[in-house]
Structure 1
Amino acid sequence: MKDKILFLIRKIYRLTDKIAFYPTLLAVLGLIFTYAMIYLEEKGISKYLLETFPALVINNTETARSLLTTFIAGLISIMVFSFSMVMILLNQASSNFSPRLLPGLISNKRHQIILGFYIASILYCTFILVYIEPDGDKYQLPGFAVLFAILFMVNCLAAFIYFIHSISQEIQINNILDKIFNVSKHRMLYLIENEKYKEGDFASSNSWQVYKSKKSGYLQNVSVENIAKIAKAQNVRIDVMVIKGLFVSEENIIFKSEKQLDDDVIDRITEHFDFSKSEVVEDNYVLAFKQITEVAVKAMSPGINDPGTALNAIDYLSQLFSLRIHKNDKSLSYISEVAYVSMATVNFKTLIFQVMAELRTYCKHDVVVVEKLLMMLLHLKNIIKEENKKYQEVLDEEIANLILDAEASISNKRDLNFIKSIV
């Protein structure tokens, strides 16, 4: 029962990433507030305020109708204009930077809240307009409710101004890179601070029982702690074979167990594998490396030709790799100092190869970018600690491959000598 509750909570949490979640929530709240105001009007709040604070009540039917009609038309126009502009800017971001950035831009919660506030205000004004009786006198007219419509309209105008400012900042590549970097940085720091790994705490799983996936999609998250609790209860060890963030097909091996498990236990374990059709940086820091690398590659394409953006992207990659070298290549989940679950992760060698392979392919002809890449690799070599000395061999290999590609693409001997002098 507890597992099912946790599963339900995770599913509800995932809904918050959907673009329609906050608009729908605010629209429902707007309807609830509307009916609350209608209830207060039925109890005579406008009549009471007209006698006590007449300045707070609009007591002219035609004025109220004109205001509400104008507000509804104006809010719809503002909403259409705002999100038409969003679509245009998203199209530009996709063309100039990378289509992989779109989910992060679309899921901006502040913009979703503004959209929800627009919709809630439109619904409020519409229902209050319908509530006004054609032959109503000053006591029947919902004047206090109309006052709230005016306040909502003023707030919508303020939200519109903020939206224009926010979207103009959001689409700038420096802000995009900075947001990706900060999210992935916080994720990596969390993993580094909470990871536990001791060599020899987890036996080889080569001969263990294999279990396959019944779903397909990107593995968005794995509740390793909950799987560890199940493993402890069954007195068994689990080796998760799939890497978070990668696409998993049906019939792919997702985990191994050191002994045969019942169908009920298998189902309980697989419930803690969350699949999605999209990728999220908050759950998978490796995606940040992919996104920033794609921005750099796109910037170096002949159609864009923006080496400055590529250099900025490499700076962010350098900072991310500086954090990554402090993380172990394996992750174990412990309960009472016993490792029950091993989680597959993208190791440092594979990660830096994937990044450098793309950058070498598209940036090897540019002397300045090659210099920047060499400086990044040399910086990483200098900050490697004693326990991660194995990473130095990986970096030496990447430096050699980068120089080799540069020699094949750059014909100017002076430029080549300059690059070789850096190493």
Structure 2
Amino acid sequence: MRDTLRVQLWPVPMLGVVLAVAAGVALPRLDERLQHELPSWLSDYFFGGSSDAARAVLEAIAGSLITVTALTFSLTVLTLQLASSQFSPRVLRTFNSDRYVQTTLALFLATFTYALTVLRTVRTGEDEQARFVPELSVTVAFLLTLASLLALVLFLSHLAREIRVETMMSSIHSAAGRSLGRLLPKEEDTDRGGSGGAHPSDAPPKPPAGALPLSVGSSGFFTSVDEAALLRAAVEADAVLLIDRLPGSSLIAATPVGAAWPRAGEPFSPDAWTRLAERAAKAVSTGPERTGLQDIAFGLRQLTDIATKALSPGINDPTTAVHALSHSAALLCELARHDLGPRLLRDDDRQVRVVLRRPGLEDLLDLAMTQPLRYGAAEPAVLARLAMLLRELAWNSAPDRHPPVVAALALLRSTIGAQNLHSTEYGRLTELTGLVDEALAGRWTHGRTR
């Protein structure tokens, strides 16, 4: 729920509107109590006009702020459309979660709402009503207007910076890095025996021939799994559960996403199996789009989308693709320092009860490299950056994780050999792929890398 609200534009502005209504009701009452008790040196700084002047000020503030708010919403929607078409539809979550945008919209709507709420308390002395000018409240409205004008200027500057592809890729990289730190333990910190970690030597249990399939109740993208609920269901049914689909995968209702089998070998009773299947289905959440909540590959997916979009014939921007590959290389090197094995959840007796599959280095490297290699095969700059990516990954990964790098290097060499390149470019790329071999052997030779 927190992740869903974080990427929505409406919660913070709605909170601003509620606070503005509360302030618009409370401050005029405070005005009535303090109107004749404030010292003159302080009251001189408050609004000193008549009732008509107060009405005019508040009406002007309300009218101008609703116009500014409409303009801000238009710019925001235009930016979302530009980001979706130029970069990838999957980067919209990054922009929607921008607290600066949400806070700016909240300030504009709050100022508008506050001015309207205070306006209803101004009395001109007609119709047998005592004249009342909420001086403090009107002054606060004036200050909110000044803050809104400053926020508008800063918002335009912020928007111009955020729609730059370099800024967007940096935001994606930062968000992905935070997800890795939250979801993946480093190998030296991996819990060797407790719930959540898996020692590299631990072999997760495999489903026997008679394992029963688990499915989800609704179609969509695999967004998250309630690990505690899944573990409780496995313990109560004395079962072992396997979820073999990765977060971010597209799941289809009533289609198997895993398996369950009794731990002690005794078959499930019909009631126990029905209850276990229902609880397991509820523990696996699906949604209309991929998220980074438990999907460690989501950041790489976004960066790869940007790279492939930049390499499309309609855009033809290999420099952006190279920059995206640089961020992908940094994420892959960080991933290589974490335990990428299956996540094992254990009961109080340290017995494995739930096995959650996670992408391995081979899957992640394939995600980051295959599409840019296919669509950028004729661009030497992209091929050179892919070679550097493999070199950097080889240097930052343990020898037991080198096989995916070796396989990717063979694919890269095959692609380079199939291109009609100038001899100079071919020689440069051959040199770079040779540097990958040296990095795999634990040597870093200072050669031509650009």
How far apart are residue 47 of structure 1 and its match? 4.0
d(CA) in 2 for partners of 1:34, 1:50: 23
Partner of 1:414: 424
Q: Specify which of 213, 217, 222 is matched with residue 216 of structure 2.
A: 213
d(CA) in 2 for partners of 1:266, 1:36: 53
**Cα RMSD after superposing both structures:** 2.4
Partner of 1:6: none
d(CA) in 2 for partners of 1:17, 1:371: 36
Contact (CA 8 Å) 1:242, 1:253: kept in 2 or not?
A: no
In structure 2, the gaps of 5 or more residues are 191-195, 263-267, 435-450
Q: Does 1:37 align with 2:64?
A: no
Deviations 1:219-242 (A, max 9, x none): 111122342233234432221132
Q: What amino acid maps onto 1:89 in structure 2?
A: T
Q: 1:131 to 1:262 in 2, by over 3 A?
A: farther
d(CA) in 2 for partners of 1:16, 1:368: 37
How far apart are residue 262 of structure 1 and its match? 4.7
Contact (CA 8 Å) 2:52, 2:124: kept in 1 or not?
A: no
User: Which deviates the most, 45-54 or 69-78?
Assistant: 45-54
In structure 1, the gaps of 5 or more residues are 1-10
Partner of 1:329: 341
Q: What amino acid maps onto 2:397 in structure 1?
A: I
Partner of 1:175: 167
Q: Does 1:394 align with 2:377?
A: no
Q: Does 1:353 align with 2:342?
A: no
Contact (CA 8 Å) 2:340, 2:358: kept in 1 or not?
A: no
Superposed counterparts of 1:229-268, under 5 Å: 229-259=232-262, 260=268, 261-268=272-279
Partner of 1:151: 143
Q: 1:52 to 1:235 in 2, by over 3 A?
A: farther
How far apart are residue 138 of structure 1 and its match? 8.2
Q: Does 1:284 align with 2:285?
A: no
Q: TM-score, normalised by structure 1?
A: 0.89
- Tell me, what secondary structure is at the counterpart of 2:22? helix
User: Which deviates the most, 320-329 or 360-369?
Assistant: 320-329
Q: Specify which of 139, 147, 157 is matched with residue 165 of structure 1.
A: 157
d(CA) in 2 for partners of 1:320, 1:271: 32
Higher relative helix content: 1
- Tell me, what secondary structure is at the counterpart of 2:79? helix
d(CA) in 2 for partners of 1:92, 1:394: 36
Partner of 1:131: 121
Partner of 2:101: 111
Superposed counterparts of 1:16-31, under 5 Å: 16-31=6-21
d(CA) in 2 for partners of 1:210, 1:94: 38
How many residues are paired up?
409
d(CA) in 2 for partners of 1:226, 1:213: 15
Contact (CA 8 Å) 1:201, 1:339: kept in 2 or not?
A: no
How far apart are residue 319 of structure 1 and its match? 0.9
Contact (CA 8 Å) 2:332, 2:364: kept in 1 or not?
A: no
Partner of 1:312: 323
How far apart are residue 172 of structure 1 and its match? 1.5
Identity %: 19
Contact (CA 8 Å) 1:210, 1:256: kept in 2 or not?
A: yes
Partner of 1:8: none
Q: 1:186 to 1:107 in 2, by over 3 A?
A: closer
Deviations 1:189-244 (A, max 9, x none): 33124651134453211432222111111111112234223323443222113211
How far apart are residue 249 of structure 1 and its match? 1.2
How far apart are residue 144 of structure 1 and its match? 1.9
How far apart are residue 346 of structure 1 and its match? 2.1
Q: Specify which of 164, 168, 192 is matched with residue 185 of structure 2.
A: 192
d(CA) in 2 for partners of 1:46, 1:208: 77
Q: 1:274 to 1:35 in 2, by over 3 A?
A: farther
Q: Does 1:366 align with 2:379?
A: yes
d(CA) in 2 for partners of 1:89, 1:200: 48
Q: Does 1:48 align with 2:37?
A: yes
How far apart are residue 74 of structure 1 and its match? 1.4
d(CA) in 2 for partners of 1:247, 1:268: 20
d(CA) in 1 for partners of 2:402, 2:42: 77
Q: TM-score, normalised by structure 2?
A: 0.84
Partner of 1:302: 313
Q: What amino acid maps onto 1:329 in structure 2?
A: G
How far apart are residue 289 of structure 1 and its match? 0.9
How far apart are residue 98 of structure 1 and its match? 2.1
Contact (CA 8 Å) 2:48, 2:135: kept in 1 or not?
A: yes
- Tell me, what secondary structure is at the counterpart of 2:294? coil
User: Which deviates the most, 212-221 or 258-267?
Assistant: 258-267
Q: Specify which of 351, 354, 361 is matched with residue 341 of structure 1.
A: 354
How far apart are residue 322 of structure 1 and its match? 0.8
How far apart are residue 34 of structure 1 and its match? 1.7
